[in-house]
Amino acid sequence: MANILKVTLIKSPIGRLRKHRECVRGLGLRRLHQTIEVQDTPQNRGMINKIAYMLRVEEGN
């Protein structure tokens, strides 16, 4: 069973680098304080690491 990560957007992507905004959208985040669950894959980890300063990440079940 693959691990799940709970990802919450805590800072606005407005005024950030274009690639960072694209990572926010790529993860499926649309608005502040929205929490989503994503699979713990290398692709998702890469996006999370790039924009870690805008996110809160927790281990999900």
What are the pLDDT digits (tens) for 24-46? 999 999 999 999 999 999 999 99
Percent residues over pLDDT 90 in the chain: 93
- What pLDDT is attached to residue 60? 78
- Rounded to whole angstroms, the Cα distance separating 46 from 40 reads 10
Q: Are 33 and 6 in contact (CB under 8 A)?
A: no
- Rounded to whole angstroms, the Cα distance separating 23 from 51 reads 7
- What pLDDT is attached to residue 5? 96
Name the residue among 55, 50, 56 with its Cα closest to residue 23.
50
- What pLDDT is attached to residue 61? 73
Amino acid, single-letter form, for residue 59: E
Question: What is the rounded average pLDDT for all residues in the chain?
Answer: 95
pTM listed for this prediction: 0.90
- What pLDDT is attached to residue 37? 96
Structural domains in the chain, CATH included, are 4-59 (3.30.1390.20)
Name the residue among 16, 36, 11 with its Cα closest to residue 26.
36
